[in-house]
Amino acid sequence: MSEMANMDPEGIDGVRMSWNSWPRTKVEASKCVIPLAACISPIRHHPDIQTLPYAPLRCKTCASPLNCFARVDFTAKIWICPFCFQRNHFPPHYGMISETNLPAELYPQFTTVQYTLPNPSINPQMGVDPNASPALSPSPVFVFVLDTCMIEEEFDYVRSAMKRAIGLLPENALVGFVSFGTQAHVHELGFSDMSKVFVFRGTKEVTKDQVMEQLGLTVPGRRGPAASAAYQQKGMMPNGFPSSGVTRFLLPASDCEFTLNSLLDELQTDQWPVQPGTRASRCTGVALSVAAGLLGACLPGTGARIITLVGGPCTEGPGTIISKDLSDPVRSHKDLDKDAAPYFKKAVKFYDGLAKQLVSQGHVLDVFASALDQVGVAEMKVAVERTGGLAVLAESFGHSVFKDSFKRVFEDGEHSLGLCFNGTLEVNCSKDIKIQGIIGPCTSMEKKGPNVADTVIGEGNTSAWKMCGLDKSTCLTVFFDLSSTDRSNTPGTVNPQLYLQFLTSYQTPEGQSLLRVTTVTRQWVDSTVSSEELVQGFDQETAAVVMGRLASLKMEIEEGFDATRWLDRNLIRLCSKFGDYRKDDPSSFTLNPCFSLFPQFMFNLRRSQFVQVFNNSPDETAYFRMLLNKENITNAAVMLQPSLISYSFNTLPQPALLDVASIAADRILLLDSYFSVVIFHGMTIAQWRNMGYQNQTEHQAFAQLLQAPQDDAQMIIRERFPVPRLVVCDQHGSQARFLLAKLNPSATYNNAHEMAAGSDVIFTDDVSLQVFFEHLQRLAVQS
Amino acid sequence: MAAPVPPGAPRQQPPTGPPPNFQQNPNALADNFQNMNLNRPPSSNTRQPPFGQPPPFSSSAPASQRPGPFPPGAVPRPASGPPTPTLPPNMAPGRPSGAPFGQPPPFGSRPPPPGAFPSSMPPSAGSPPYGAPPPGARPSPVNMMPSGAPSGFISNGPPAPTFQGGQRFAPPGSSQQQAPMGAPPAMGPPGRAPPQAGAMHPFMGSPGAGASQVPPPSGMNQVAPTFGGPPQAMSGSVVSPYAPQMSSQPGVPPMPGSMPPPRMYGMPPPMQNQMTAISPVIGQTGGTQPGASKIDPNQIPRPIPSSSVILHDTRQGNQANPPPPATSDYIVRDTGNCSPRYMRCTINQIPCTADLLTTSGMQLALLVQPLALPHPSEEPIQIVDFGEGGPVRCSRCKGYINPFMKFIDQGRRFICNLCGFTDETPRDYHCNLGPDGRRRDADERPELCRGTVEFVATKEYMVREPMPAVYFFLIDVSMNAIQTGATAAACSSINQVIADLPEGPRTMVGIATFDSTIHFYNLKRVLQQPQMLIVPDVQDVYTPLQTDVIVPVSECRQHLELLLESIPTMFENTRTSESAFGAAIKAAFLAMKSTGGKLMVFQSVLPSIGLGALAAREAEGRSNISAGDKEAHKLLQPADKTLKDMAVEFAEYQVCVDVFITTKTYVDIASISVIPKVTGGQVYYYHPFSVVLDSVKLYNDLRWNVSRPQGFEAVMRVRCSQGIQVQEYHGNFCKRIPTDVDLPGIDCDKAIMVTLKHDDKLQDGAECAFQCALLYTTVYGERRIRVTTLSLPCTSNLSNLFRMADLDTQFVCFLKQAAREIPITPPLHVREQVTNFCINILLSYRKFCATVSSSGQLILPEALKLLPLYTLALIKSAGLRIEGKIDDRSFWINYVSSVSTPSAIPLVYPRMIAVHDLDTQEVNGSIVPAPLPLSSEHVSDEGIYLLENGQDCLIYVGNSVNPDILQQSLGVPSADQGGAEFNLQQYDNPLSKKLNEVINEIRRQRCSFLRLRLCRKGEQSGMAFFSYLIEDKVPTGGLSYVEFLVHIHRQIQMKMSS
């Protein structure tokens, strides 16, 4: 990781693969243990990417756009598609083409180019009525869904956060507001006489049609002209919006900021009484259905986000995760394992349905959950992930994890998240390559084709995916398989290169529609002949992340899946295959540098929250996994294996071993485990600091030493979304556990006597890295 | 967002600019009522002087106090039965000489009124028939006099009812007096009988020539002459139908002259004048109709209103005193029995056996109106607090202590007058008995000397804290309601009425509006303005807030005003025509569920969607009617059970629903009214709704609704002495267990009919008691038990029953039963039933009490002489009119189910007065002039007439009214000018002032702000007016009064002979 820090491993394409050279056959591929996978960041920003003001030229049989790998016959004005080998004539407007006059997409360095598309509604298969999809929807849409079941203090925090957010919205952004507690309230912001609220009961599931009808949004003509025709007319004329709801429930931020602010000022916490010993009744599920229905009725097919702020578990109606009785604890992983969580499956099913609805409407669900207890993120995960939404889990709405993350969602400029809408990803690939599926924030569009594999991983059975929401950091892991036919095996007959093309169309917050085309090529290698090339093409980091994602997925969907064993077995197989050793002689075992880091990744993955879920709540696990699946490889690798930097006098900050041995009394350590950033002061440092030396001019150096990790931490935090939790702690302090939990327990109470003074021990029975390696070597060389 | 109206801006009164006359004192009606508000805290209880009425009883000698007031007419009634002495005055006196009745002297001369009337019977004793009647001979003294019946008949003319009966009846032989009259005549009639029979025929329809001859039974003849010339017409006419009877009865003959002073008593009131005056005219008409010619329409029985106040002691000489007519103006002194306002029985003596009752053909029932509005001069009901122990009750039947419980054993024990059980007197309630066997403290303890007392309820009577006074207003804001102005009218009314809600922290209000969705309003004070909360799911409703939609009125007044002012504009442009009535009331109910309270709904269109939606079945019904479908009356039944089930649930949670229907179309009242009916509420119906005409009425109705004496979460039970038991309760309430009725709301206007049945024999001469206990919560949150006890003598004498029958109550029972029948029985059957009721009673009387008379005579018991007239009126009433609008009929049916006796009578038998000559009419103590018979013969083209039934007030303008009069009174230059939407204003001239005075007085009397409509001949409105003239023959087959009498007579004859 650190050695890659200065590199851009993803390049212009934003693609990283576990294997950069591919074995020729399915059999060989399976021997490689680590699956063939490509992690693509579809809209990652890169300065070299060209944006072309015209539409792409597509192959007439496979529809893949012209790219720099196409063979071009300039005289005949013909290009040959690298995927299907179809010969295509250039159209007239490409008439000027010549070897010296190439369009940008044919420049070899522009393997990724971006086209602007005239019309955003490029997804006829989305089921969106083409007439209904707005021709122009320049403004992003935000529907806030606010929980009102919380204590006043939290409520104040969340209200002020919302107000700030509204202030940050672009003027033309449309805003809607739903609050909920025992019941869900849809605020009609466009009603000027008084504050007007539609109330939906929390206990009853509402369908989209019911929401439309009850909000009076039925399309005139279809259900009689009765409902608010007056509104309709008002609404239709100026904006050409398809539905009256736009002027009633969704208003430009500039128009409704005042209304919303005063509404928030007057908004009260849920007024329904809560019996002692019970949880507040909270109808998160209904509120979300209603918000989804509202958007579905008003702006189907337009980029819109439902921003949910929840402060507790859903206890009412669909999506309930727990009974109201406080003596009934919220489900744990153990309950889930034992099938002792009576609400879980039902709730997941509900959110699954909601996800389908949102995806079909092209809308995004974001969840900002702040509570000490769980709120049901585990159940909501499906909806958030499928729609490409954001999730932030914090302990309190007053906590910086929430506050700063929430703010960043709306921030503009350099640090903006680059939230885009209505994305679709299509993958074209050379013959014999089969697509198994994607792990990441997207939904299968069920577009079948010859390239679709029978076995499915994640969102599969398709070569196209919907990403209702996506941002600069969104990363998808595409799993490939090879066709099992032997034809390609015949040497010499085939192109030695394989091609993959990723087409991402999306809509920017400004309303622009873009299509990014990334075409990559890799080499086929015959691993039966030599594995050298194969080995050289191995990307350990990517491979580790892919394994982490796959293990997480399997844990979720396969009952009784033992992730540790699965990882161990695969690691052993990998080492057996690619290690150099003499059979049954562990001491002879060596591993090619291309693999050398991998076992350590696996060691840390085994110990990570992704595999050792029992230390976390299902909500946390779900949250971690969503981020693991969504972040790019570098960040995901940090999640698996945190980075540790040590600061001390006389040396520059330097990476330290992720080992308890790195702790020293006169050092400051900075641990970045992605979700939290820990600044750990050695004992001596802490003492000095407590004595205030840093304030004395003669000890300026000390002050600088103290400050350095803070600065670096801030840098990390600034870059990241969600904002990580910053923990500043001292050796032997209670918060030190955030560091110790991540360190390799090379020193435990079992061998404490061997330790040097000033270092630390970890009280655990976990095996240390050394022991792990020993076992690995032994098992890898077994015959 | 800003409030449409600046807070400080002056509020307009009724938005629509109510008629000026009204504005002057829009509250007049309610103001008065408020004085009587029972529920006001005691402090405020000071009774104001009545409406300028005579002082209360305190004054022992009413006569002296009231100079003129004691019109004979008034008195007579009370005395009803007894004063035999009176002559057949009815007719005779009045007619012949207009003077008598009008003349003061007679009155002055009268024996002492006060004493007199109580003891009317005895004093009258002088009159032979009365006292004299040998028991043996005539079962019941005076009354029994079969003559009574005939007399009634005779009397029908004008005069005071009862007396005459006595006299007339006086069997020829029995009394000497009679003898004079016409002892012989009696005989005569029989003799004549045959001819009479012939005479009758004419009635039947065959204008038998003989008819004319018939009449003159000897007696009659005599009479006629006596009266003098004028009578000719009368005598002739009268006679013919009735004549036979009359004649037959010796009593009849009595001449005015012959009458002793006491008779004067019974002298006919002013009516006579009119009658006499008119008679010639009638005579003429009669002439044209051969059949009827023999009957003088002026002579047939009609109600004679008393214009003066009657004083009534409920018991005298330890005897129950029969109450004055329910419609008369009377002041009650509670001397042991309850005031007849609270409870009255159909018969003031209880038949000892079921057989006897059956024989009589009469009903035995109580009409209970537990919170009835007292006369302002009456002593207030005393409140008794027994402390923690609660009121003393019989330990077996749980009857409450009352004046008829007998203390024995030096007061150590008492015998329950209801179940006969002997109980130990609680130690701290013990008191020695005096020499008369009464407790020495009996007169100090209201519960031992008053028929009506109110006990303070203890914890034992509460399942929870007494509920607060919760008022929830639910307003229709669908397109129709907005456009007709109904919403604005409702909002404005509510806005004004808020000030009239009971004061105090326990008064809560809430508001919701609805169209295709339901809009609640969060009125919490912390909000800068109300917040609208919409419940869009009208299939499965819920309340949007647990609290805050109903808040103490003191905390939300500003928000309320703001809201009510902005609602009409807020929905101004609505296009929503749907109305989710059922869902809305359900949602409002859910909001009120925890407390209960009053839900007032303003509805303007047919509920079309959501829970309890109704289909427009009227159209379908119309075609059925035209197709002669026998099931047409099913439209008068609720469409389905949804609303009924809801209503039962509401009642369970003490929610009382009133529905104000402001509509121009069919709204299916039959279905909607189930909700008010079951929850103890009321339907108000403004059809066709007009902002101009109805806004003020709406306001006044609403105001009276909230300010009238009322109670919440009430439970009522009636207990009877052994031998009698309650058979059934009828009225607006919910019944969950057989013995009690639950009344989420009860107010002073609601009456409940309690039918009774025998389960054993009663002992002749014993007393039978009825006790009604109403446990309720006042608007101020006090829990009270109002106990009303009535003890009546038992009799085994049939004629006593007839003598003591209470016409008004008896008839109201018919009315209510008929109303119940209408939706389930074809109208023809109902009419037949009603007629048969009447016939059976008369038949029984004829058979067993007037055997002497000839079969050719139609003989009416004096007490029930108006029964045929009322029966005819009922048959022609709105509820039984097939051609009437379904909603009108449904409303009528619903109204009848809870109507009190005093309001029921005018409903079927409206009051018509001439108003063109108000300024010149003779004033005789009452503001409202004497009513005219409801016959078109009394309506002249030169006149302006006012007809009211307690709900509507029709002003009929004749074609050739003097334009001056028209201009003066109504401000209209000519009869055919002035729109349909007419406002009565007060102009600066005596006629107009008088007219306004009269109308306001009527409003006060009826506790109702009448809808004024202008009617003109030849227009629809004129038709409507004439449809109330029930004595007329209706082209579609309705009999005229005279014809009806003939019809009845024939039926009786047939049954007699069979």
Residues ≥6 apart with Cβ < 8 Å to B103: none
- Minimal CA separation from A212 to chain B, in Å: 10
Mutate to test the interface with A, among B534, B546, B558, B570 (most CBs of A within 10 A): B534
Peptide bond into B826 cis (omega under 30): no
Dihedral sign of CA atoms A525, A527, A530, A533 in order: positive
Low-confidence ranges of chain A (pLDDT < 70): 1-8, 119-138, 219-245, 485-495, 752-759
DSSP state of B847: I
For B678, other C-beta atoms within 10 Å of its C-beta total 25
- Minimal CA separation from A395 to chain B, in Å: 29
| A783 contact B CB<8A | no
When CB atoms are compared, the residue of A182, A198, A226 closest to B576 is: A226
The phi and psi torsions of B334 (rounded to 5 degrees) equal -80, 105
Chain B residue with CA closest to A184: the answer is B544
> For position A84, what pLDDT does the model report?
87
Q: Which residues of A127-160 are buried (b: 16+ CB within 10 A; e: fewer)?
A: ebeeeebbeebebbbbbbbbbbbbeeebbebbbe
Classify burial at A172, counting beta carbons within 10 Å of its beta carbon; exposed 0-12, middle 13-18, buried 19 or more: middle
When CB atoms are compared, the residue of B526, B532, B542 closest to A194 is: B532
Q: Report the interhelical angle of A563-578 vs A540-557 (nearest 10°).
A: 150
- Contacts with B544 from chain A: Cβ below 8 Å: 183, 185, 197, 199
Peptide bond into B370 cis (omega under 30): no
Subunit contact B531:A191, Cβ cutoff 8 A? no
- ipTM value: 0.84
Closest CA to B162 of B266, B279, B317, B70: B266
Subunit contact A198:B536, Cβ cutoff 8 A? yes
Subunit contact A214:B1, Cβ cutoff 8 A? no
Chain B residue with CA closest to A224: the answer is B576
Subunit contact B534:A196, Cβ cutoff 8 A? yes
Subunit contact B544:A273, Cβ cutoff 8 A? no
- Contacts with B532 from chain A: Cβ below 8 Å: 191, 194-197
When CB atoms are compared, the residue of A185, A193, A273 closest to B546 is: A273
- Contacts with B537 from chain A: Cβ below 8 Å: 200-201, 204, 206, 210, 214
- Tokens 């429930």 locate to A249
Subunit contact B544:A199, Cβ cutoff 8 A? yes
Distance CA B923, CA A81 (A): 115
CA dihedral B330, B336, B338, B344 (to 10 degrees): -90
Classify burial at B419, counting beta carbons within 10 Å of its beta carbon; exposed 0-12, middle 13-18, buried 19 or more: middle
Closest CA to A131 of A121, A139, A118, A116: A121
Subunit contact A272:B534, Cβ cutoff 8 A? no
CA distances from B820 to B505, B658, B817, B894 (A): 41, 20, 5, 9
> For position B56, what pLDDT does the model report?
38
- Tokens 């033309």 locate to A172
Distance CA B223, CA B92 (A): 7
What's the token pair of residue A636?
Answer: 């995901």
- Contacts with B527 from chain A: Cβ below 8 Å: 195, 266
Q: Report the interhelical angle of B581-592 vs B642-652 (nearest 10°).
A: 20
- Minimal CA separation from B36 to chain A, in Å: 41
| A220 contact B CB<8A | no
Closest CA to B1028 of B887, B907, B866: B907
The mean pLDDT value of chain B amounts to: 74
Encoded amino acid at B425, one letter? T
- Minimal CA separation from A438 to chain B, in Å: 41
> For position B857, what pLDDT does the model report?
77
Closest CA to B741 of B780, B789, B776, B783: B776
DSSP-assigned letters across all residues of B318-382? TEE-PPPPTTS-EEEE-SSSPPTTTEEESBSSEESSHHHHHHHT---EEEE-TTPPPPTTSPPPE
SS (H, E, C) A670-687: EEECCCEEEEEECHHHHH
Residues of B with CB under 8 A from a CB of A: 1, 516-517, 520, 526-537, 540, 542, 544-548, 563, 566, 569-570, 573-578
CA distances from A539 to A35, A566, A581, A651, B92 (A): 12, 20, 22, 31, 129
- Contacts with A213 from chain B: Cβ below 8 Å: 536
Q: Are A67 and A105 in contact (CB under 8 A)?
A: yes
| A192 contact B CB<8A | yes
Helix (H, G, I), strand (E, B) or coil at B602: strand
Closest CA to B341 of B368, B378, B321: B368
DSSP-assigned letters across all residues of A319-339? T--S-SBTTSPPP-HHHHHTT
Dihedral sign of CA atoms B1029, B1030, B1033, B1035 in order: positive
Encoded amino acid at A294, one letter? L
DSSP state of B1022: H
DSSP state of A1: -
Whether pTM > 0.80 for this model: the answer is: no
Distance CA B697, CA B1007 (A): 12
Q: What number of helices (H) and strands (E) belong to chain A?
A: 21, 30
Distance CA A630, CA A722 (A): 12
Mutate to test the interface with A, among B528, B540, B542, B577 (most CBs of A within 10 A): B542
Q: Are B337 and B321 in contact (CB under 8 A)?
A: yes
Distance CA B945, CA B800 (A): 40
Mutate to test the interface with A, among B477, B491, B526, B532 (most CBs of A within 10 A): B532
Subunit contact B570:A197, Cβ cutoff 8 A? no
When CB atoms are compared, the residue of B544, B546, B576 closest to A227 is: B576
Subunit contact B536:A216, Cβ cutoff 8 A? yes
Closest CA to B160 of B904, B845, B862: B862
Low-confidence ranges of chain B (pLDDT < 70): 1-297, 306-307, 620-632, 853-855, 922-925, 975-981, 1037
> For position B27, what pLDDT does the model report?
44
Closest CA to A106 of A72, A80, A82: A72
- Minimal CA separation from A421 to chain B, in Å: 31
- Minimal CA separation from A370 to chain B, in Å: 25
- Minimal CA separation from B4 to chain A, in Å: 9
Residues ≥6 apart with Cβ < 8 Å to B126: B85, B260, B262
Sheet strands side by side (includes B343-345): B343-345, B365-368, B752-758, B724-730
- Strand-pairing partners, residue A143, are A176, A306
